[in-house]
Amino acid sequence: MPPAPALPPVLDGTLVLDLSTAGPAARAARILADFGARVVKVGAPPRKAGVQNTPPFYAYSGNRGMQLVQIDLKAPASKEAFLRLADGADVVIESYRPGVADRLGIGYAALSKRNPRIVVCSTSGYGQSGPASQRAGHDLNYAAVSGYLDCTERRPDGGPPLPGASIADGAGGGMHAAMSILAALLRRERTGRGEYLDVSVADGMLYLMSIYVDEFLATGAEPGPRHYVLTGRYACYGIYEAGDGGWLSLGIIEAAFWKNLCEALGLEKWVAHQYDDAAQPAIRADLAAAFRAKPRDAWVAELADRDTCIAPVYSVAEATDDPQFRHRGVFVEAEHEEHGRFRQLGPTFAAQTPVAAPARVPNAKRTHTREVLAGAGIPPAELDAMIDEGLIA
């Protein structure tokens, strides 16, 4: 059969204004850009921006394919320029403290009065209302209040560990916000109207904990480390050291896979004791001794294709060289005008929205403000005046 014709990007023709600098809201904007939206990242001019915490590496893909503009949202003339830009936008994403966007006159009430089809997503740590809404926080805090850290294996000193990745910002916040925006755009197709989205990263993190939260709410059984199969209660689900100091992840739940592993390791005596709590210390000791007999990669070569749910614990360098990821095409070539070409992580969702090759990573020193605002219908004389006054850059 001939190949199917290429589909246009899912969000082709969708204009997104991103008022965030980093964190969950910026991750949501990146997802929308990867889906094909035109994303304009709106920041303050240099003299208004203050100290900004930005990724210390030029290859960061968070702004991939975006246009960068700098607008003073407090001055009347430049704020009006932003509002005119928002008149033609489909989505605005902001991550100010709750209430700040409204005080600036760029919140949902102001924007939707001019553009009823607009979707405004406010992404904050704890939500727009409630006793914690004004609290400052970051990824670790949201993982903490959701119970995630308390369900994770303890450090030697008894405290919960630091997560190895920003799961709250990425999954609890960024993906939560992006899915909410996509749902709102779909509903707009049916109703003709936009809507306001109040995305709380802590709420999203709690949602990721639903299997444990729901169990507690229904039974009163409070989960924690080694409470449940997925948090290491049983030896069949854990991390083991190999003979070369490398590590193996063992993720067996089903009895058939457990039987396969026991037979491969000569531990048939434990086949019937997978979920026998009393036997777990002895099973762990036998598994630990068995895995120390060979290097990590030797075990992977021997067991991974035998339905044993085993996988190596990779470093980031190893993950980026993994043949399965390479086959899946999850890495793309990117280009920066000062630093040339390099690889970076591309979109990993299933929709047919290929990233242009090479993907363009914008230079933070170069803005598209005049081009973008001119496209919104602002006359050259007004642009010149705002540039002279330092209101846009």
Catalytic residues: 138, 169
H/E segment holding residue 214: helix 210-219
Of the candidates 59, 36, 67, the one whose C-alpha atom is nearest the C-alpha of residue 345 is 59
List C-alpha distances in Å: 290 to 176, 287, 310, 345, 362.
Answer: 42, 5, 14, 36, 51
CB 79, CB 104: distance < 8 Å:
yes
Look up residue 24 and give its amino acid.
P
Q: Per the structure block, which two tokens stand in for 355?
A: 């990233």
Both structure tokens of 259: 């039987």
Which residues on adjacent β-strands are paired with residue 93? 18, 121
CA distance linking residue 93 with residue 18, whole number of Å: 5
Report the DSSP pairing between strands 247-251 and 237-241. antiparallel
d(CA 194, CA 181): 10
Side-chain-side CA neighbours of 302 within 13 Å: the count stands at 14
Question: 3-state class of 70 per DSSP?
Answer: strand
Cβ(90)–Cβ(112) below 8 Å = no
Question: Which run of H or of E encompasses 216?
Answer: helix 210-219
E strand segments, the chain: 15-18, 38-43, 67-70, 91-94, 119-124, 196-200, 237-241, 247-251, 310-312, 331-336, 340-345, 359-360
Q: Are 210 and 136 in contact (CB under 8 A)?
A: no
